[in-house]
Structure 1
Amino acid sequence: MSMKEWAKKEVELACKHENPDRKEGEFDYGCACYESALKAFNSLCDDEHSGFSIKMTQAILNRLIDMQPLTPIEDTDDTWNKCPRIEDGPEIYQCKRTPSLFKYAYDDGTVKYHDNDLSYCVDINNPDVTYSSGLVSKIVEEMYPITMPYMPGKPTKVYCEDFLVDKKNGGFDTVGVFYALKTENGEQQKIEINRFFRAPEGNEKPDWVEISKEEYYERKEKRIHANN
């Protein structure tokens, strides 16, 4: 049995499992995805890939599907689209090749980069819950500042916890940032962070205030539970 015949049989079995009562010619979303994958597989077979080259092609295809560039991004004029400037703020540019990447050019000549997809948060108490956080994004970019040339990769997963101590602060006012899982060269590394923050109080600047681990757990003892 050839690879194409084997793949066709597997897709037929998968479609039957997906929708046992599917009638000939009837559209089914799940089956359509299987059949689309079969078309891509057959195309690779027709190109006579070896085991090594088909894996290389798979890696390229995965990056295209994830809308990630195939070569490093360079800081050249044709890489950016200029965004409207906020009063008294830096010049802001958005990357044409990776729309999540932004460049900030300050009047003193400083240039910084920010990628919205560089990291995301995972609730350490419920790993199925993920979300974004400006505070955590800033911490990750301090640890791993973006430089040029830049090759985006898998986002870093940062395991966090938040809770509320004072009702006047809304949904939460205390944040723990415990550790990150970062993928490099196909291997995942665990990086300890262990930084803790509270909402500003009184006349403090409207920004998160870093606190000690001891203060964090003291606040946690006073936290307001959802059913309170």
Structure 2
Amino acid sequence: MALLENIALTSEDEIYFLGDLIDRGPQSAQVVNFVKDNNYPCLLGNHEQMLLNILTSQERSSATMQAWLYSGGQATVASYKSATIPQEHLEWFKNLPVFLDLGDVWLAHAGVDPRKSVEEQTAEELCWIRDDFHSLEAPYFTDKMIIVGHTITFTIPGVAPGQLAQGQGWVDIDTGAYHPRSGWLTGLDVANKVVYQANVFNRNFRSLPLEEAVAIIDPTEIRGSRRHKQRA
């Protein structure tokens, strides 16, 4: 909320969320209500997908449940004071898109599988992919920029806490707001190439040109490290 409060939004502005509204702090229920009640376009994140898979019996094993709870699910459950996630929220999650095509910009939670066409992309890939996308040597689209989240940027080689990561035809804006090494929640004004950031720990706010906020990624370093083996 603090991020939006510090941006001089107008009635002409369009706000999009990249998913993972849950499992990232003690106010998941409030965040979902805020986005849902304001009818903001939002993507399905891998954490919403995990929750839906568990509740629809696709992955209802003890190990899967424990993995979700460990990855932030416990805080999500606690944010719903009744300890029950409302059916209307679950239905809303089920209807979230896995990508949005905005013309010269494409939004995906995690990225795209570079080995597949747009039509062949699956929800699993769009919500979970990491290294195979970040190590692109040429843009997946020659005429689009793909804006993603999912992977905390400072876990990518060469990126400092708070920086965005920019590769071949993509920008990752997940700066790890919940993580003690960062705390920065990031919004990107795509049209004007301006980055807005609010720190959830010290309440600082800053805005800066996109070119000053990003670290340019070397895809060979990512292929060499293969660092993202975790699921969440």
Band the TM-score falls in, shorter-chain normalisation: under 0.3
Identify which of structures 1 and 2 has the higher relative contact order when contacts are C-alpha pairs closer than 8 Å and 6+ apart. 2
**When you count strand as a share of all residues, which structure comes out higher?**
1
